[in-house]
Structure 1
Amino acid sequence: MAHNLSLPDRLTVLLVLGILAAAAIAFWNLLWVVVLSASLAIVIMPVKHYLGRSMREGTAALLTTAAVFFATIFSVGFTIAVLAQNGDYLTQIVQGILAWIASAETGGAAAGIASTDIAAWTDEQIASFGDWVTGLASQVPMLIIDLIVFFLSLYMFIYRGDALAAEVTAALPSRLRAAVEKLTRTSVDTLYALYIVHVATSVVTFVLAIPFFYVLGYDHIVFYALMAAIFQLIPIIGPSVIMLFLGVYSLSLGDIRGGLLVAFVGYPIVCALPDIYFRPMMMGRRASIHPVIMWIGFFGGLAVMGIVGFVLGPLFLALAITGYHILLEEMKEVKEAAQGT
């Protein structure tokens, strides 16, 4: 039997919705942090379940959050340290490539002028980068607040997320509950692809890149491997940019062997192998969205919603596709019921 809300019930619902809307508006600038923490909590919830077998639920949630915190700090610190140590080396490479290009265009006749222009251009880019770093440093206090809110929210979602989902699901009608459960499975699978598989593929790229760059013989092995892993996090582009960069650098040095290694060993192993073999293997049957749709979600989300769109873009598209299939199933059932009558 259908349940009709009385006037007091409707007013209560409106009051609660109004409070939620006011809270969202008041904390709008931090809302993206909470959304990211909720999406990450959904993915790492199994870690809390595993730890919860031998300890209290609150302790398991705290340890899980602490593990994410230290992993994040280590990854960011390691990346910054490697990039800082190799900043001069990267500048030297760029200057060498630009000098080679200028020399090829002028036939070596204006090599001195080209070198001066290259040095000036490099100094200009370094100054621009310094201005960017200075602007970023001014945002450090707000960034610290964002991190505090992120990890506090992450802890609460890990700790109470299961109970919250169970409460909401139990309050829904059975027909609506089935649709919500399908949407929930789609959300979990999509977030799994975004976080676990994406990061794991980047780690695999880093591991595969180390022996290749050792054989290549340009030193700075960890730097090149780290850059390949970072670019692996960028959809479509991936570490191919690094291989193209190294290929041009090899030609600028006259190193034909290095260029051949980059083209016929580096690209297949460091770029293609993680995407063609490891990524599908780790996804298994959990892929709920076509890779092309995922890429549209990545770039469309970044363009519309900023950094949070990197997660919400593919997620919204996956939910829209699942909602479309749910609607088709509902229409099919209504049609079959009408024909049966």
Structure 2
Amino acid sequence: MLGGIVALLGLVTGAILLEVLGTILFALTVAYVLLPVQGWLVRRGLTEWTGAAAATLLGFASAVAVFSPILVTLYFRIDQVMAVIEGLPRQIPVTAFGMTYTIDVAEMQTLALDVLSSVAVSFASALPVLAIKFALFVILLFALLLKGDAAGRAAVAPVPHAYRDVVYALARRARETLYAIYVLQLATSIATLLIGYPLFWLLGYEAALTLAIIAAILQFVPIIGPSLLIAPIALYHVAVGDLVAAVLIGVLGIALVAWFPDVGVRPRLARRSAGLPGSLYFVGFTGGLFTLGAIGIVVGPLIVAVFVEAVDILADEVNGDATFSDLVEADLEEPPGSRGTETTMTTPEELPPEESGSHAADD
């Protein structure tokens, strides 16, 4: 009953705090990743308060490192991005099988410019709200790190002791997934930025830093990642007839910016990750982004990973170590009559002596 009351009050609280729910979820996930850091600092001699403060400072610095390039690009480089889009040819001729086709991209240019203008205006008007939400994030992060043990005890309190191993397994999968999202993706994005900036600069692009920042941000998009940036740039060079530049940016960009960080950085940090397949990660990423907005980038893959872990636990509980083929063969070999339930009468003579005697005594 008490657990139900807590769940009901949690739903009511979530409805009231709906406007800042994304900030709260973001703080919860970051705190969950930083709790081991806070524990490590405490074991090294810091107090609970100073350890929580140091871990909060680390989370604050990480958040600034992630979001400041995005804010700088939107605030200082938006005019350059719009100028590049405006400089694209209005029509792109494509020759194939001796015939020339003309692709009209004027409408796409106008749509892209309108979207960028609206994003810039919305960002400028939302700056005060973003500042308040960022302050809320820091305060909540510190509170969660300082009282993380109490929060954990409260979270598992409604769960019966016999099922707490399931909760701990789900919590472990959640921590591994968040580690993969925050630590692995952040490290891969930083590597993309460090590789992309000199590459774009050497190839002669004026907005080399802006392109490198966009590539680093796109690294959070699973599977395709910075290819979303490299492919349009290569197509642009093809459209204007600069095939050498198209080959250079296509080959070097895909190999060094889109592919190498995943191969060179990710495997070295993937020991503690959840190992979620890329297809499922992509489903969680896109579904969370379209449904919840920016926070869905984290919440979507997290929910998918926890759901997969719950399905695995259920399968192990019911089927043990049997494979799907073993289960199919066992079901096919089972006699049809044994699948139903039959009720038969048993006489005292058919029972063992102990049971027969007990029944006679009961009669």
The TM-score range, normalised by the shorter chain, is: 0.7 to 0.9
What SS does structure 1 have at the residue aligned with 2:121?
helix
Counterpart of 2:67 in structure 1 is 76
Q: How far is 1:289 from its partner?
A: 1.9
Selected match of 2:55 from 44, 64, 73: 64
Q: Which string of whole-angstrom CA distances, capped at 9 and with x for unpartnered residues, describes residues 154-185 of structure 1?
A: 11112212343246547754431211111111
**In 2, distance between residues paired with 1:47 and 1:100?**
55
Q: Which string of whole-angstrom CA distances, capped at 9 and with x for unpartnered residues, describes residues 80-101 of structure 1?
A: 3345444444334323332462
Residue 97 of structure 1 contacts residue 248 of structure 1 at CA under 8 Å; is this kept in 2? Answer: no
**In 2, distance between residues paired with 1:171 and 1:305?**
28
**In 1, distance between residues paired with 2:316 and 2:66?**
45
Bigger CA drift: 221-230 or 179-188?
Answer: 221-230
What 5-or-longer segments of structure 2 have no aligned partner? 96-103, 323-363
Selected match of 1:143 from 130, 142, 155: 130
The amino acid that maps onto 1:294 is: Y
1:28 and 2:18 aligned: yes
Selected match of 2:196 from 189, 195, 209: 209
Selected match of 2:247 from 260, 275, 278: 260
The amino acid that maps onto 2:67 is: V
The amino acid that maps onto 2:32 is: I
**In 1, distance between residues paired with 2:66 and 2:297?**
19
**In 2, distance between residues paired with 1:179 and 1:273?**
37
Distance 1:71 1:167, change over 3 A: closer
Selected match of 1:191 from 145, 165, 178: 178
The amino acid that maps onto 1:91 is: M
**In 2, distance between residues paired with 1:218 and 1:245?**
14
What SS does structure 1 have at the residue aligned with 2:294?
helix
Q: How far is 1:231 from its partner?
A: 1.6
Counterpart of 1:157 in structure 2 is 144
Q: How far is 1:258 from its partner?
A: 1.9
**In 2, distance between residues paired with 1:306 and 1:268?**
30
Q: How far is 1:265 from its partner?
A: 1.9
Distance 1:95 1:322, change over 3 A: same
Count of aligned residue pairs for this structure pair:
316
Distance 1:252 1:83, change over 3 A: farther
Counterpart of 1:19 in structure 2 is 9
Q: Which string of whole-angstrom CA distances, capped at 9 and with x for unpartnered residues, describes residues 119-166 of structure 1?
A: x99688656644443344444443333223222221111221234324
Distance 1:99 1:189, change over 3 A: same
Distance 1:189 1:300, change over 3 A: same
Question: Is the radius of gyration larger for structure 1 or structure 2?
Answer: 2
**In 1, distance between residues paired with 2:292 and 2:114?**
29
Selected match of 1:96 from 74, 80, 87: 87
Q: Percent identity?
A: 27
The amino acid that maps onto 2:226 is: P
Counterpart of 1:7 in structure 2 is none
Counterpart of 1:297 in structure 2 is 284
Distance 1:94 1:28, change over 3 A: closer
Residue 41 of structure 1 contacts residue 157 of structure 1 at CA under 8 Å; is this kept in 2? Answer: yes
Normalising by structure 1, we get a TM-score of 0.78
Larger relative contact order (CA 8 Å, sep ≥ 6): 1
Residue 83 of structure 1 contacts residue 223 of structure 1 at CA under 8 Å; is this kept in 2? Answer: no
Residue 213 of structure 1 contacts residue 225 of structure 1 at CA under 8 Å; is this kept in 2? Answer: yes
Q: How far is 1:67 from its partner?
A: 3.0
Distance 1:186 1:260, change over 3 A: same
Residue 186 of structure 1 contacts residue 288 of structure 1 at CA under 8 Å; is this kept in 2? Answer: no
What 5-or-longer segments of structure 1 have no aligned partner? 1-9, 105-113, 336-341
Selected match of 1:182 from 163, 166, 169: 169
The amino acid that maps onto 2:51 is: A
Residue 45 of structure 1 contacts residue 158 of structure 1 at CA under 8 Å; is this kept in 2? Answer: yes
Counterpart of 2:37 in structure 1 is 47
CA RMSD of aligned residues (A): 3.4
Q: Which string of whole-angstrom CA distances, capped at 9 and with x for unpartnered residues, describes residues 289-334 of structure 1?
A: 211111111112223333332222221221122112222233247x
**In 1, distance between residues paired with 2:135 and 2:59?**
13
What SS does structure 1 have at the residue aligned with 2:147?
helix
What SS does structure 2 have at the residue aligned with 1:101?
strand
Pairing of 1:237-316 with structure 2 (within 5 A): 237-252=224-239, 254-284=241-271, 286-316=273-303
**In 2, distance between residues paired with 1:296 and 1:251?**
32
Selected match of 2:211 from 215, 224, 245: 224
What SS does structure 2 have at the residue aligned with 1:293?
helix
Residue 225 of structure 2 contacts residue 258 of structure 2 at CA under 8 Å; is this kept in 1? Answer: yes
Q: How far is 1:271 from its partner?
A: 0.8
Normalising by structure 2, we get a TM-score of 0.74
- Looking at secondary structure, tell me which structure has more helix per residue: 1
What SS does structure 2 have at the residue aligned with 1:235?
coil
**In 2, distance between residues paired with 1:177 and 1:284?**
25
Bigger CA drift: 303-312 or 83-92?
Answer: 83-92
